[in-house]
Amino acid sequence: MDKREWLERNQVFVYGVALLVGLTAGLLSEPFGHIVEAWISPLLAVLLYGMFTLIPFLKLREALADGRFMVALLLTNFVLVPVAVGGLLRLFPQPEAVAIGVCLVLLTPCIDYVIVFTALGKGDAKAMTAATPVLFVAQMALLPLYLRLFAGDAAAGLMQIGPFIEAFLLLIALPLAAAILTQLWAKRGEASANGADAPSTVGPAESTEPARSAPDSVGTRVLEAAAWLPVPFMALVLVAVTASQIGRIADDPLPVLNVLPIYMLFMIVMPLIARTVGRLLRLDVGRGRALIFSSFTRNSLVVLPLALVLPGEAAGTAAAVIVAQTMIELIGELVYVRVVPKRLWRG
């Protein structure tokens, strides 16, 4: 196991340590929280670039070919999850800024570390990986509609169009475009290298030599280097976000306390709903487990920059609500990697 694989397998522990470091630093030093708050956006941009390079955007056809699994994912994440979130917000009504934070985080399925948790829970991580570009495109297209539908017109009005578009372009669209270009660069370099190293008919004397692998192109090396970015930069973002927001949470813990029942019920209800969908669509064991993990693992750090552009105190409130979901989710993941294969979807 190389160092990057070790890092990915132990990322839950790394994130837990990062949360503790951020919480401690933010509580002990308010100036430190203000300093690292300015670093959130640059760190997020690098993190998202690294995450997007791992998403197989060039294999969309392969993802769409797995029709039954794709239907299950889209139905669960973009029909049943919104119904559940709408019901929870009616059961536990929230102020506008809090409702936006809840919608941002719960209505966007995870596209990165859900793959790791799926693998730890003995699900089909390869199928989950192939589906990530479809999930990403769908959530970005549907999020504005869901915000207006579930957070209300007044809450949706807080999402000022100028800062929202700026954050989307700089922190999502730009890293996404850079990641796709990196993938294309690597693919073209590999094709050129394979063409240059194609075996030639030079005689029997050389046929006994071991075949050489094609040399890595510069694009391939850049893509491999980018694969190191997500875990350490996710940890740095968690430190920066928690250190900068914990002071606000400590001063006014009520918004976070009020959303805890929503997050905990979501973590309980969605796996059961996803299991029902998977059974009805007759998914196999690996894909059924992958569907369960996708149903409750959310895209918290990808939508965080959209919360940070809210005006005034709403930005801090929504960001704190999103960070709280991340903490609850990480605890839930540790439970579900054992419960899913042993109880929810046994082999």
Structure tokens at 60: 């969309």
Q: Which residues pair with 298 in a beta bridge?
A: 109
Cα end-to-end span (Å), the chain: 27
Residue 321: which of 155, 74, 128, 142 has the closest Cα?
155
- Using CA atoms in the order 277, 278, 283, 285, what is the torsion angle rounded to 10 degrees? 180
Among 79, 76, 99, 78, which Cα is nearest to 271's? Answer: 76
pLDDT of residue 196: 59
Q: Is the model's pLDDT at 144 over the cut of 90?
A: no
**Could you state, in order of their start, the residue ranges of all structural domains in the chain?**
3-191+216-344
Non-local (6+) Cβ contacts of 220 within 8 A are: 186, 189, 190
Query: Rg of the chain over CA atoms, in angstroms?
Result: 22
Mean pLDDT lowest among 8-22, 183-197, 224-238: 183-197
Which pLDDT tens digit goes with each residue over 48-96? 898 888 877 776 676 677 889 999 999 999 999 999 999 999 999 999 8
pLDDT (0 to 100) of residue 212? 43
pLDDT given for residue 159 in this prediction:
63
CB atoms within 10 A of CB 247: 17
Chain centroid offset of residue 21 CA: 22
- Fold entry, domain 3-191+216-344: Na+/H+ antiporter like fold (1.20.1530)
Among 148-162, 216-230, 252-266, 320-334, which range has the highest average pLDDT?
Answer: 252-266
Average of per-residue pLDDT across 239-259: 88
3-class state of residue 298 by DSSP: strand
Query: CA 267 → CA 14, 60, 72, 262, 278, distances in Å?
Result: 22, 29, 18, 9, 17
Closest CA to 68 of 343, 269, 271, 279: 279
Q: Describe the crossing of helices 285-296 and 254-280 by its angle, rounded to 10 degrees.
A: 160
pLDDT at 37: 85
Tokens of 192: 């050129």
CA 82 vs CA 61, 88, 149, 233: distances in Å: 27, 10, 10, 30
336 Cβ contact partners less than 8 Å away, ≥ 6 residues apart: 117, 121, 271, 292, 293, 296, 344
- Quote the CA–CA distance of 238 and 126 in Å, as a whole number: 27
Q: What angle do CA 292, 295, 300 make, to 5 degrees?
A: 130
**% of the chain surpassing 70 pLDDT:** 88
pLDDT tens, residue by residue, 22-53: 999 999 998 998 899 889 889 888 988 988 88
Instruction: Determine the 3-state secondary structure of 141 from DSSP.
Output: helix
Per-residue pLDDT tens over the stretch 192-210: 766 655 554 444 444 444 4
Q: Where are the alpha helices (DSSP H) in 229-284?
A: 230-251, 254-280
* Mean pLDDT score, 267-276: 97
Confidence of residue 265 (pLDDT cuts 50, 70, 90): very high
Mean pLDDT throughout 320-326?
Answer: 88
pLDDT at 320: 87
Section 104-132 average pLDDT: 87
- Find the farthest-apart pair of alpha carbons in the chain and give their distance in angstroms, rounded: 79
User: For the range 198-206, what are the long-range contacts, defined as Cβ-Cβ under 8 Å and sequence gap of 24 or more?
Assistant: none
Please provide the average confidence, as pLDDT, over all residues in the chain.
85
Among 42-46, 147-151, 182-186, which stretch is predicted with the lowest mean pLDDT?
147-151
209 is written with which tokens? 């030599």
Please say if the pLDDT value at position 134 is more than 80. yes
Q: Could you give the CA distance from residue 152 to residue 275 in angstroms, rounded to a whole number?
A: 30
Is the CB of residue 296 less than 8 Å from the CB of residue 277?
no
Considering the entire predicted model, what is its pTM? Answer: 0.80
